[in-house]
Chains A and B, each alone.
Chain A
Amino acid sequence: METFVIQFIHGLVYGLLLFLVASGLTLVFGMMSVLNIAHVSFYMLGAYLSYTMLKVVSNFWLALIVCPILVALLGILMERLILRRVHAAGHVQEFVITFGILFALNEMIKWIWGSENLSVPIPSTLSGSLLIMGNIYPAYRLFILFFSLLILAFLAFILMRTRLGITVRAMVSDRDMASALGTNTPFVFMLVMGIGSWLAGVAGVIAAPFLGLSSSMGLDFLTDCFIVTVTGGLGSLWGAVVASFLIGQLSSFGILFMPRFAIVFGFLLMAVVLVIKPSGLFGEKA
C-alpha cells in the first residue's frame, strides 16, 4: 500500500513537470497551429542556465527567478525575429524552422556546457526528507509538487479570470476573428510565447536537481511532452492537465511493474486515444 502511495506521488511529480512544459507548447499551438518543437530546448536551457547560475551565486531561489526570465526573453526574440517572418511561408516551413532551432540550440548547449552529465545540488532548505505513511520521502520532490500546483493555479487564474486570459482564449478558438475584433494579436502572441518559454524555463530549473542534466534531456522529454499534448488534444490546456497526470502515473507504475516496457506505455495510451478520438481527449479539431 505504501509503495503505491509513494509511486503515485512520484508519478504526480513527473506529470506536473511534464505539464509545465506541455502547457506552453499547447497554448502556442492553439494560437498559431504550429508546434514549436524548440520548446523542449527552452526547458533544457533553463536547466543548464540554473547550473551556471548556481555555480556563480549559489542561490537556488535567485536562479529560479532569473533563469526562466532569460529563457522567456529568448522565446520572445525567437518569435519576433524568426517565427513571425516565416508565418507567411506556411505551416510546414514554420514547423521545419522550429526544428532547425531545436537542433542549433541543443548543439549550442552541448558546445557551451559539454556533453557529459552534470548534477545540480538540491537547495539546502529543501534537502531534508519527510515521513509519508511511514516512508521517507525527499522534501524536494514535494516542493516540485506544490510549486507546480501553484503555477497551475496561477495559470488557471490568468486564463479564466483576467482580461488577458479572455483574449488568449479567444485567440485560441479563432485567431483571425479575434484580430478583426481589434485585439492586438501579434502582441498577445508574443506575450504567450514569452509565458510559454517562461514555463519551460521554470520546469527546467526545478527539474535540474531532480533529474540531473544531460545533453539528451531535451529529446528524452520531447517524446513524453508530445504524447501529453497529442493525447490531451492540441491547444487544450485541460487536456494537457489530464494527459500529463495520466502519463506521469503510467511511467511511474510502469517502471514499478514492467520496467523493461515502461517506455511503451505512453505510446500505447496515445495510440488508443488517437484511434478512438483522433483529435485527442479534449481537442476540438483534428
Chain B
Amino acid sequence: MKNRSFYLWVGIALGALGILFPHVLPKFQLRMVTEIVVVALLVMTWKMMLNEAGLFSFGHAVYFGLGAYASVLGWLHIKGLSLMSGILLGGLVAGLVGFILSAFLVRMSGTYYALLTLAFNQLIWAIVWKWRNVTGGDDGLGKFPKPDLLGISMKDPTNFYYLSVVLVGVCLFFCWYFTKTPLGNVTKSIKSNEERTRFIGLNVGASKIIFLTMLAFFAGISGALYAQFQEFIGASSIDLVMSTHIIFMAFIGGIGHFWGPLLGSGIYVYLSEYLSHYTDRWELIFGVVVVILVLLAPQGILGITKKRK
C-alpha cells in the first residue's frame, strides 16, 4: 500500500528530526516543541473519540486537568514519589474519573453526549476552583518537586524533551494499536451504526466504557506531563476554554488524519506564541482563523492535501 509506506517515511523523518531537535534548536524553540508534543497527545485522544467512536467531547479538559492536578498533588504530598509513578498516578486518576463519567455518558450520543460532557466539565471545574485548600483555586499549584528519572535530571529541558517524546510516542502507539484490535473495530462499528452493532450481539456499552476510560487515561498522562513541563498548574487547565482549544487544535490539523493532532497543536502553539507578541487580541484572531478554516477546509489542513491527491 502506497499510503502506508508514505506514512512510514514521514514517521522516520519526524523521528530523526525529533532526535536532532535539541541539538539544532535554541532553548526557547525546544520548549515550544516539547509543548507541541505533549499537547498533541491530548488532541489525539480527543480526535480518536470523535473519529473512532463518533463521540464529540465538549469537556475533554476534565481528563487533562485532573491528570495534571492528581500528579501534582501526588508529588506535593507523597514523599519520594518518582517521576514516572507521578505521571502514572495522573493517568490513573483521569482514567478512573473517565470510567465513572462514561457510565453516564454511554447512554448518550450526538449533541446530548457533547452537552453532558460540557456539564461535567463545568461541574468538575467548579469543584477544582472552589476547593481552595487542596487545589489552590485561582492561584493554582506551583513549586512541586521534579524528581529525577533513573538518575537523569529532568530539570534539563533536553532530557525532559526526550522523555516527553518517548512517553507520547508510546501512548500514540497504543492509540494506533487499539484501532487495529477487535475492540477498536467494535467502536468503529458503533460509530457507523450503534443499533446494528447491538443487534449483532456486541456489548456496545462496555466497549464504549473501555474506550473512553483508555482515552481518559492517556489524556491524564498528557496533563501530568504538561504540569511538569509548565512547573505550574492552574484552574485554566481544566476550564471550558481549554476544552475549546483542544477542539480547535484538532480541527486545524484535520480530524481524519493520524498526524492531524501534531500539526494542529504545532500550529496552535506557534500561532499563540507569536501572535501574543504582537497583540493582546490573539484569541480573536484565533477564533476568526477557525471559522475561516472550517468554512474553506471542513476536514482541516491535512484534508486539503488529501483532496488534491
Q: Which residues of A contact B (CB under 8 A)?
A: 29, 33-35, 82, 85-86, 89-93, 95-97, 99-105, 107-108, 111, 219, 223, 226-227, 229-230, 234, 260, 263-264, 267, 270-271, 274-275, 278-279, 286
With a CB–CB cut-off of 8 A, which chain A residues contact B126? 263-264
Chain A interface main SS type: helix
Q: Check A100/B50 contact, CB under 8 A, given A267-B119, A271-B104.
A: no
Given contacts A226-B115, A274-B108, A278-B108, are A82 and B281 in contact (CB under 8 A)? Answer: no
Bound complex: CA A95 to CA B118 (Å): 13
B56 touches A104 (CB 8 A): no
Tell me whether B240 and A107 are in contact (CB under 8 A). no
B257-297 residues at the A interface, CB under 8 angstroms: 281, 283-284, 286-288, 290-291, 294-295
Tell me if B75 is interfacial: C-beta within 8 Å of chain A. no
Contact, CB under 8 Å: B240 / A219: yes
Given contacts A101-B291, A234-B112, 18 further A-B contacts (CB under 8 A): A29-B111, A82-B295, A86-B298, A92-B50, A96-B294, A99-B247, A103-B287, A107-B283, A111-B281, A223-B122, A226-B115, A226-B118, A226-B119, A230-B119, A264-B123, A267-B119, A271-B119, A286-B108
Asked whether A97 lies within 8 Å of B112 as measured between CB atoms, the reply is: no
Chain A neighbourhood of B118, CB < 8 A: 223, 226
A111 touches B284 (CB 8 A): yes
Q: Are B284 and A86 in contact (CB under 8 A)?
A: no
A104-B284, A104-B287, A226-B119 as given contacts; A97 in contact with B295, CB under 8 Å: yes
* Nearest 6 CB-CB pairings of A with B: A104-B287, A89-B298, A103-B287, A107-B284, A100-B290, A100-B291
B244 engages A99 (CB within 8 Å): yes
Task: List the B side residues contacting A33 at CB < 8 Å.
Answer: 111
Majority DSSP secondary structure for residues of B touching A: helix
- Report if B130 contacts A (CB, 8 A): yes
Residue of B nearest to A271 (CB): B104
Once the chains bind, are A96 and B295 in contact (CB under 8 Å)? no
State how many residues of chain B have any CB contact under 8 Å with chain A.
Answer: 36
Contacts of A101 in B (CB 8 A): 287, 291
CA distance A172 to B111 in the complex (A): 16
Contact in complex: A96, B104 (CB < 8 Å): no
Nearest B-chain residue to A263, judged by Cβ: B126
Closest-by-CB residue of B relative to A35 is B111
- Check if A286 sits within 8 Å of B112, measured CB to CB: yes
Cβ contacts under 8 Å, B251 to chain A: 93, 96
Bound Cα distance from A235 to B69, whole angstroms: 38
Query: A275 — which chain B residues lie within 8 A by C-beta?
Result: 104, 107
CB distance from A270 to the nearest CB of B (A): 6
Most A CB contacts (10 A, CB to CB) among B109, B112, B244 go to B112
B218: CB under 8 A from chain A? no
What CA separation (Å) do A105 and B283 show in the bound complex?
A: 10
Give B264 Cβ to nearest chain A Cβ, in Å: 12
A274 touches B295 (CB 8 A): no
> A97 CA to B108 CA in the complex, in Å?
22
Q: How far is the CA of A33 from the CA of B119 in the complex (A)?
A: 19
* Chain A residues with CB below 8 A from B290, complex form: 96-97, 99-100, 103
Tell whether B211 is near chain A: CB-to-CB under 8 Å. no
Please tell me if B217 contacts chain A, counting CB pairs below 8 Å. Answer: no
Determine the residue in chain A with the shortest Cβ distance to B243: A99
